Each structure stands twice: as C-alpha cells, then as structure tokens.
Amino acid sequence: MAKVDTDIREQIDMFELEKQQQAVLTELLELCRASLDEVDEDHITKAFKLCCLSHEGVQRASGEPYYLHPVEVAKIMAGDFNIDDESVIAALLHDTVEDTSVTLDQAEEVFGPVVRHLIDGVTKISGVFESRDTKQAETFMKLILSMAEDIRVVLIKFADRLHNMRTISALPRQKQLKKATETMELYAPLAHRFGLFKIKNEFEDLCFKVIDPNSYKFIVRKLREKKKAREEFINQFMQPIQEELKELSFKFEIKGRPKHIYSIYRKMQRQQKPFEEIYDLFAIRIILEDPHKKEDCWRVYSIITDKYTPIPKRFRDFISVPKANGYQSLHTTVITKQGRKVEVQIRTRKMDDIAEHGVAAHWKYKEGKSGGSDTLDKFVHWVRDVLDSPRPDAATEFVKDFQLNLYQDEIYVFTPQGELKTLPKGASCIDFAFEIHSEIGERAVAAKVNGKMVPLRQKLHSGDQVEIITGNKINLNADWIEDVVTHKAKARLRQFIKQKELKVADEGRELWEKKSSKGKFEVSDQELMKVAHRFKFENTQEMFYEIGAGAFDVNKLYKVVKELKSKGRFDTEEQDDKVSGDDIQEKYISTARAVGDTKALLVEGELSGVKYSYANCCNPIPGDEVIGFISRDGDVKVHRSNCKNAHHLIRTDGERIIDVSWAKNIESQFLGAVKVIGEDRVGLVNDITEVLSKSLKTNMKSINVSSEGGMFEGILTLYISDLKHLEEIINRLERIEGVKNVLRYE
C-alpha cells in the first residue's frame, strides 16, 4: 500500500494513471455526466487518483486490484441513486481513512468539508454490522443518527455492501454465509424502509443465492425455460391496453418483468405450491410520462379493468394513502380470459423514480430539483423518534425492535381529528397511544375504536378511528409487553419493567446485607458472582432479584458463602474458561475431533472423527448446502444453510460455525418428507406406496393422509439417500394419475 504524505495535492497531481485505470476513470465520468445534474470532473478525477494511489498494490479476495471496489461503489451512487458528485467522491474514498494513511484533514483540504463529513460518517458506522450483537447499541445508534444527519452516508454504505454481495463468491463459504445473513436481516429491511425496492430485491436475491443455492438455481432455471412463453403472453396481454392509451394520446412506458427470485421462493413456501402453480410470477408496470398527474392513473386503471376482470381483494391505492417511505402507485390484479392472474401497477414517472430509488429520490427532490418533498422530513422524524425513545440495555432487543419496525406491513388509522397515522400491522391501541406521544402511552387507561369502548390491548385494522382516554397518573402495565409491536412502546415498557426489577433486586440485596452482617467475613462482588454462577444465575443482579421476589432463599446463599469462606475455597475456585473468536472454534473443534467416527461428514474439508448429529428443524440430506455448529460439548450439529435456526446461530454465535460438507459414496439413509396433493380416488394411496417400494426401492417411515372435498393431501416420511434420490421420488410421484403436486415438505 502506498504511503500518502502530508503534501497530498502534489502527490495527486504527480500520480500517473495506468492505461486500465484511465479507461475505468473515463467510464465513471461518462456515467456521472449521464446521471447527475452537476459534475465536478476535476474533483472526481483527483478522488479517483487518490483512491488508486492509497490502495496501490492491494488486492481483493478475488485477486483484482482493490481500487476497483470503491469505483464500483461510486458507480452505484451515480447510476443507481443519482445523488450528487460529492457522494461519488466520498464513495471513491470511503475506505481510505480507515484502511490507509490518508487522514480526514487531508481529504477536507482537497475536497472540502462535505466530503469529509460523508467519509467520516461511513467510517464511524463501518463496524455496525460486522460485529455480533453484544455491545452494539452504541454503534447501532451511530448508524441511525447518521441517517437523520445525512442520508448519503447510509446510501454509500448500501452501495458498499451491494458490491460486496455481488462479488461474494471469492470469499470462503463460512464468511459468505455470515455476510449474507447480516445482509438479509438488516440491510434488506433497511432498504425496504428507505423505499429502495430495486436495491432491496437485489440484496434478497444475492443472499438467497448464497444461503440456498439449490433452490435459487431451480427457480432461475424454471424462469429461463418459460421466458419465451412469458414474453409472448405479456405482449398479448399489453397489446389492447397500448392501443387504447395511444388513441387517448397518453405518453407512457410499459414494463413487464418477472418478480425477483426470492419473492417467488417465499410465495412457493408460504402457499406450499410448486413453481408451476405460482401464477402471478410477473407484474406489468405502466408508467405515465410527466406532465401526467395522479388523476390520469385512475383513467388508466379504468381502461385496464374494462379490458380484464379485476380481483377486488387485490386492489391497493397507495396514491391516496402513500406508504411510510413515500411509495405511491395503484396496484390491481386482473384475470385474463384464459384464467391467468396478472398484477398491474400504475404510476407516474416521478412515482416510479421514488418507488425504485426511495429516499435517494426524496433527497434529490428535497434539494429543489423537482419542487421538494416532505417524505424525507417524515423519514427523518421517524429516525429521530427512534432516537428519542427509551433505549433497552440489551443491544439485541434494540436491534430486534428496530428490525420489526423496518420490515412489517403497515396499517393506516386515524385520530379523532382525522389525522392519519401509519403503524406496523398487528399494532394495538397501546402502540397508537405511544405513537401520539410518550406521555399519552404512559397515562392511557382505555380506548375507543370507531366510537366503541375497547380494551387497550385490542389490535387495530386499517381505517380504524382511535381515541385514547388518559388518567392523571402513569398507568403502565408490565403485561402489555406482549401486546405491542412498535419499538417506542416496547422500549418504554422494558424500561418500566427494568425499573421494577431493579427495585426488587435492591430489596434482595438489602436482605443479603442484613444476613451477611451477622457473619464474621467479608465477601467481594467477584466472589458473589462465582456463587451466583454456581446457582445457575447469569449475574448477582438476577440472584438478588430472585431473593427480593421470594423465589430464592437468602439463607441458602448465606450457608454456601459461609462454607466456602471457612474452607478458603474461593481462592482455588476454577476461573470461567471463557474464550472468544478463533480460540473458541479451535478449542471445540479439537474436542469434537477426539470423539466418535463418521463416514458421511467432512469437517473443513477433512474426513475426521467428529461426533455429529442432524438438526431436526431442517433434516439435511446429502446434496443440501449445510453448515456445522459446534456445541459446548464438542459435538457438531448439522443444519441446512437455509434453515432459520442456522441464520440465528450465524448471527449470534458466528465463531462456532464451521464449514462442513458431504463425503462421497455415503451409504447411510436419511429422513426426509414429501407432501403429495391430488384428487381423492380409490387406490391412490396404494399406487403411491407401490411406486415407492417397487419402482424406487424406497422405505417409508410413516404416512399421514387427509381428504376433504374430493382432494387428497398426504405427508410421506421416507428414508432417502441424497438430494438426487429425493428429486427422483418427486418426479416419479408426479406421474401417478390424479396427483397434482409433489414437493419437499419442510
């Protein structure tokens, strides 16, 4: 890596670009000219040179020069977010201060205070997602605070992670899974909350490709196979609409494209249907060119519903009532004469820009280029609201609450004065009260919904008009914690519960101090902690709470402490053998390798003696992508990489995850299950069992069958050799007369 000295301007001017670097710079400048309103080409060129200079000789895991990464991040800022040239410069330099000898003062000297502010913001939040969730509240707060101060900081971080995900194949499998899980659980929902749907969809697809590559490849193959037929159908569907819109002199663009891969997978899982039976695989988008107004969207809706039959339950008006992130569009699903369902979205060009680029578009409009936007102000208010809420002590709770508020469906309710409030789906009257004001939530005693008295715990629905009745005193109830979904309500209730627990714990400590004062010994906090651990308490605070609540006898504690003191055993007590990071992995891997024997599992590429078992939550079979989790006993628990429990383990105990893979020529049988749906008829079960036993030589452990309304549904638990064997079973069962669907049962 090149050393950048104090005379930074001179070094930049003297730095000669190589031929490849000059070509990359030319491409970046062309993109900026095409995408941005104003471009300071001199500053961008200097930033590019400093990027190349400071990362000189450094390579990425893929082997390509490191400087190409910040360039790709800059391209996303210009081409996808269309923000400004200052954010492009900051993107080019986003790793320099953290990874090289360049300082913030030097960056400000050449590029000004705004670029310094952006680089500093990205540097400060760079560790938020990389560390695990312990001790993360403060860094997470920095991230949220940076959103309110300058949205460009977070957009650069999005662009950085997006390019990392696009190039993730160069990393080891374990690191791929960790990064993909982080991205799926925080970056994707944040992008959703920001209205960055294009970015969110790409995040989800890239993560899905890593976490469950087999399912990803399956859906991609199916989409490719149906591409020609899909395009013909879309053209046929759109033709009469296009003709009428042209007759009415509308200027418009029509897009027809498949839904993103992960959304198709989720629909298959949610509906428990095979790919062939997911009909609304694509959406038609009609974009009206400016100066069309929102009234024209309704005219187009009328034209479409004259041509095709709409499904009333699938109509959504996000124009009159936009989503919290500013998304506006009309959504409807119609049925063609052939019985196929098609989702249609209708919006203006400005609405489409906001739908694709979300808060990035709002930032651009806020700068005065298109008349301004108050949606960014609403978003900043939401961020500030989170900051003002009481913070739980545990970072895991804070992050969890925040994520819930990011990614939930929304409902729209009204105050008695008719003011619209947006809440997460599942919100109660208590959530509504805290949404109005923290003091209202604290003093709420009852509620009226649509004019009728209801319990405060009652869940709300879109369209409800809610009135909160308050008393003069704080009326918080610890049991409400189960009835609220918003971060603001949860955080205040946790604070209330914590205060009650502290009071009880203080009472427990007083009882102990009175008791211990009778003994002729002194006990340190460290010694009390050891005793607390002996009684299976996490800490002394938890022990004193149990004493104060009457659940743990203080005499029992006194007896043990007195005995340990009298025998002098505190000094020889074993220290907690807590280790972290690579030490934990090495310690437990060595323990695992010392026991058992296996012929099915490779640990870190080696066939070694590891005691292992397969997770019942996901039942992996050879051919599945799998990970190993090392227990504290040294055993390895094998999960499918797309298992929800595996995601949790990667996030919370990442150092215990190890790379495992299947050995070749495995002779064992594995439990798996398939779901069979078809027309109920005499002899169907017999045909299924005959195909399994005679044609496929497959043993069944159990069969669970139900029938209703002439339809048959069965869950078959089978002994399976590998994924190929399972696919063979599914394909063969699908050929039985009357069978409609066969799919792997989760």
Reduced to 3 states, what is the DSSP secondary structure of residue 623?
coil
* Beta-bridge partners for 676: 714, 742
Q: Fill in the amino acid letter for 613.
A: S
Task: Classify strands 282-288 and 341-348 as parallel, antiparallel or unpaired.
Answer: parallel
8 Å CB contact between 477 and 430: no
8 Å CB contact between 723 and 622: yes
8 Å CB contact between 449 and 460: yes
Q: What is the 3-state secondary structure (H, E, C) of 669-681?
A: CEEEEEEEEEECC
Query: Could you give the CA distance from residue 135 to residue 128 in angstroms, rounded to a whole number?
Result: 10
Candidates 430, 419, 506, 515; CA nearest to 468 is 430
Verify whether residue 98 is a known catalytic residue: yes
Q: Can you spell out the DSSP letters for 453-466? A: EE-TTPBP-TT-BE
Query: Could you give the CA distance from residue 65 to residue 69 in angstroms, rounded to a whole number?
Result: 8
Query: Could you give the CA distance from residue 658 to residue 175 in angstroms, rounded to a whole number?
Result: 10
The crossing angle, in degrees rounded to 10, of helices 19-35 and 85-92 is 150
8 Å CB contact between 296 and 288: yes
Element (H, E) at 614: strand 612-614
First to last CA, the chain: 50
Query: Could you give the CA distance from residue 398 to residue 402 in angstroms, rounded to a whole number?
Result: 6
Sequence-distant (6+) residues with CB within 8 A of 648 are none
Sequence-distant (6+) residues with CB within 8 A of 590 are none
Candidates 630, 629, 700; CA nearest to 669 is 700
Query: Could you give the CA distance from residue 264 to residue 277 in angstroms, rounded to a whole number?
Result: 11
Q: Which tokens belong to 600?
A: 């099915």
Query: Could you give the CA distance from residue 22 to residue 575 in angstroms, rounded to a whole number?
Result: 60
Catalytic residue, from 13, 41, 98, 231: name it. Answer: 98
If one counts every other C-beta atom within 10 angstroms of the C-beta of residue 621, the result is: 24
8 Å CB contact between 666 and 722: yes
φ and ψ of 728, to 5 deg: -65, -40
Q: Where are the alpha helices (DSSP H) in 318-394?
A: 349-364, 375-388
Handedness of CA 406, 410, 415, 418 (dihedral sign): positive
8 Å CB contact between 70 and 92: yes
Catalytic residue, from 56, 99, 149, 680: name it. Answer: 99
Sequence-distant (6+) residues with CB within 8 A of 319 are 294, 297, 328, 329, 330, 347, 351
Element (H, E) at 342: strand 341-348
Element (H, E) at 732: helix 723-733
- CA neighbours closer than 13 Å in the CB half-sphere of residue 626: 30
Question: Which are the catalytic amino acids?
Answer: 98-99
